[in-house]
Chains A and B, each alone.
Chain A
Amino acid sequence: MTTVPPPHLVKRPGPVRKLNRTVDERFGTQAGLRRNLNKVFPDHWSFMIGEIALYSFIILVLTGIYLTLFFDPSNTEVVYNGSYVPLKGVEMSRAYASTLDISFDTRAGLVFRQIHHWAALLFVASIVVHLMRVFFTGAYRKPREVNWLIGVGLLVLGILEGFAGYSLPDDLLSGTGLRIAASIAQSIPVVGTWASFLVFDGEWPGQNFIPRLYVVHILLVPGILLALIGAHLGILWHQKHTDFPGPGKTEHNVIGHRVFPVFAAKSSGFFMLVFAMLALLGGLAQINPIWSFGPYDPGNVSSASQPDWYIGFLDGSTRLFPPWEFRGLGHTVPAVFWPTLILPGILFTLLALYPFLEARFTGDTESHNLLQRPRDAATRTGFGAMAISFYLVLWISGGNDVIAKTFDISLNAMTWAGRIGCIIVPPIAYSITKKICIGLQGRDHEIAEHGIETGIIHQLPSGEFVEAHRPKLPPVADHRRVPTDRVAVGSGDQTANARSGLARRAGKAVTGFFVEEEEQGGQPNADDAPDQPAGTKH
């Protein structure tokens, strides 16, 4: 079907196509490149939340590399003689002194430190929001349980990585955090003391801990994170993205935009906006001013010493837990063991096992590629609200001293409010959320059965008033139909409407840029091509 253009119209290949040909001739990348660039991703706004985490991670790696050039992970005591006057002549570790140097004597050091720290907060926060999106839409259901498990692993590792970074500068705040971590390790029954010795190389605070923590922070955990992110995205790529039900969408197709050019452009733009947000925060809002806290000294502690937000819920659980200490069989189990180790152990285990528990209790063993709206799974949504409210109570309690001071509330009252709240708020949140979901379901049924209210009132001869309903219109695509880049996946590239002029132009845009034009054509038609009528812009 392809016609050979006259010689004077044959374009000379551009540099990109030349490079592509060069690579392809040596590595045979053409087929894979073509397949992957033509891959289709759905484009609901909520599917971009995970990207925030990915881009934050990239920025963390880039800024982190810069910081490693100047940071000196050493416990060796030195006398500070840098340009920050209020600490001149004070003894401190080299780790702390070099962090001061990064902040005050290194070009762009402080803004890199701040962007790095803000990116860490945003990394974990976006993982949590992404997790909520996946949870409330049921995206973790078969066949995506493994990616859910990897996601939970990423969350836990992200928290650990953040805590390690928070602990590295050896300032008063991070030292206090490590002191607490050491106490938590010691609280483990039977092996606690040895576990603490193992981690801290002897008695707290030890002499070799910062170099160890440094290796964990810049090599071990980031390496695992990188591998898991790769696996997470690889599985996503292979299994294809889920989508909400909609016109033309089935369990066996994906409707959206191709990787190239729309999805790639969108994602690059989004990366820039994430970077912009982090640069704004890092440039305008001070974070972790270690010079204000002073060097770590085991004899000192500051009030309102807080962890970063993602550890806050454990700080809160510790503040709320009653001081119950068990003694027996020659061992002591201190109160801190329950809220800091047992509680997160239970929470993260439940989180990881949730897809399997749900499948077990609902008996749903089907594969699902279409998402559920939160209201359509009222019990799950109720559970989610319950978990979030429990977490929120613990989280607020983690900052209860700052809240008490700011809003002039008694700290004791806040503690008791937290103790009572973490028991009674979750069930209330569950039942209210479930009732709202069922109510919304009822409304959906109502509309499906009786149509939409028109606002037109008729009076019957008997005197009764009734409102006229009109039937719900058949679903309309939420995008105007652009046949070329709204294609079915797993089937190739062409849609049923591929012969339209727009389709040819857009197809050419793809093939002409990366792919030899001669390869165009001959693609099989889509089996699951969306066949709804072209919608109108609404």
Chain B
Amino acid sequence: MSDMTASVGAARASVRRRRRSSAVVLLVALAATGVLWAAFAPRGTAQDTADANEAVRAGRALYLQGCSSCHGVNAQGGNQAPSLVGVGSAAVDFQVGTGRMPLAAPGAQAKRKDPIYDQTQIDQLAAYVGSLGGGPKKPVITSAALDDADLAHGGELYRANCAQCHQATGAGAPLTYGKYAPDLGKATPTQIVEAMRTGPESMPVFGPGQIDNADATAIAKYVRHLSEAPSAGGDALGKYGPVPEGLLAWLVGIGGLLAVCLWIGARQKV
């Protein structure tokens, strides 16, 4: 019996000891985490935070003025426009930077036009919408990254993922009911990657899990190549392939030669 009591006592002591040691381990771990966090955490200075807050404030002011009538005062969306909570700064930079937003007129699809805001204002708007939480951030495509990107690989990815809608030459093509995949001629590398990450309009989202940043940059490089490379063999006829070719063959080719026939026929009246 005493043996039993003693053994029970010993067991209790061991439990107490274990609890005590767990608490110590926990404390040490917490302390270590704190120290490590302090050591490795991004060290935003007070000035940065102030700038960021200022950008968000300025962005909110712009937002209330130019966007809130459709997207709502708190970006919660409305009957005419979707909520902007969680769309991320990349979406804002794309939509406003390509002039699609603010919308000129309701239609099947927002058209690209000259942006209304300058880049500082766009960044402020993006900061405000980004501060609402979530969503892809505006990508940073350096010219060094573009130089390093594999053009041919970008072309393969483009043909496999993009040409179905934007056409092999990047000239764009229609979708259903007045929607369309736009011409990529004016898109900047940043805008191309933003569109892939955010999936504007009818475009699907190509997230980093499908196409990583290096591949996305390669695609952007190929798209720029499509519009910047000199067109070998003469005028590219809008890059639409056989339809304008046929039109030219009839209007200029046949039309011109029929004019020649008429001319020769007229010359014969000696």
List chain A positions with a Cβ less than 8 A from chain B. Answer: 43-46, 48-49, 52, 85-90, 103-104, 110-111, 114, 118, 121-122, 125-126, 129, 172-173, 257, 266, 269-270, 273-274, 277-278, 281-289, 291-294, 297, 299-309, 312, 399, 401-406, 408-412, 478-480, 482, 537
B63 sits at the interface (CB 8 A): no
**Residues of chain A lying within 8 A (CB to CB) of residue B177:** 410-412
Stretch at the interface among B44-52, B117-125, B161-169: B161-169
Q: Is B155 a contact of A87 with CB atoms below 8 Å?
A: yes
Q: Which 4 pairs between the two chains have the least Cβ-Cβ distance?
A: A309-B246, A45-B265, A302-B168, A303-B173
The minimal Cβ–Cβ distance linking A192 to chain B, given in whole angstroms, is 27
B126 sits at the interface (CB 8 A): no
Selected from A104, A285, A300, the residue in CB contact (under 8 A) with B163 is A300
B106 sits at the interface (CB 8 A): no
A412/B176 contact (C-beta < 8 A), A48-B265, A104-B232, A294-B155 known: yes
Q: Is A43 a contact of B268 with CB atoms below 8 Å?
A: yes
10 contacts between A and B (CB under 8 A): A86-B222, A270-B264, A281-B252, A289-B236, A292-B169, A297-B159, A303-B181, A305-B241, A402-B173, A405-B180
Q: Is A281 a contact of B174 with CB atoms below 8 Å?
A: no
The minimal Cβ–Cβ distance linking B100 to chain A, given in whole angstroms, is 15
A277/B253 contact (C-beta < 8 A), A90-B152, A270-B264, A304-B241 known: yes
Main secondary structure of the interface of A (DSSP, over half): helix
**CA A293 to CA B158, docked complex, whole Å:** 11
The minimal Cβ–Cβ distance linking B228 to chain A, given in whole angstroms, is 11
Q: Is B235 a contact of A302 with CB atoms below 8 Å?
A: no
A303/B167 contact (C-beta < 8 A), A125-B250, A284-B234, A309-B250 known: yes
Q: Is B168 a contact of A401 with CB atoms below 8 Å?
A: no
B249 sits at the interface (CB 8 A): yes
Q: Is B250 a contact of A286 with CB atoms below 8 Å?
A: no
Selected from B159, B240, B253, B261, the residue in CB contact (under 8 A) with A122 is B253
**Mask of B254-270 contacts with A, CB within 8 angstroms, 1/0:** 10111011101110111
Q: Is B253 a contact of A404 with CB atoms below 8 Å?
A: no
**Residues of chain B lying within 8 A (CB to CB) of residue A307:** 242
A-B contact count (CB 8 A): 208
**CA A301 to CA B180, docked complex, whole Å:** 17
**Residues of chain B lying within 8 A (CB to CB) of residue A412:** 176-177
Q: Is A303 a contact of B234 with CB atoms below 8 Å?
A: no
**Residues of chain A lying within 8 A (CB to CB) of residue B266:** 45
Question: For residue A44, which residue of chain B has the nearest CB?
Answer: B265
Q: Is A309 a contact of B173 with CB atoms below 8 Å?
A: no
**A-B contact sample (4 more), CB < 8 A, given A277-B260, A294-B156, A307-B242:** A44-B265, A48-B264, A284-B234, A304-B241
A49/B261 contact (C-beta < 8 A), A122-B253, A125-B253, A289-B233 known: yes
The minimal Cβ–Cβ distance linking A136 to chain B, given in whole angstroms, is 14
**Residues of chain A lying within 8 A (CB to CB) of residue B256:** 277
B127-181 interface (Cβ within 8 A of A): 151-153, 155-156, 159-160, 163-169, 171-178, 180-181
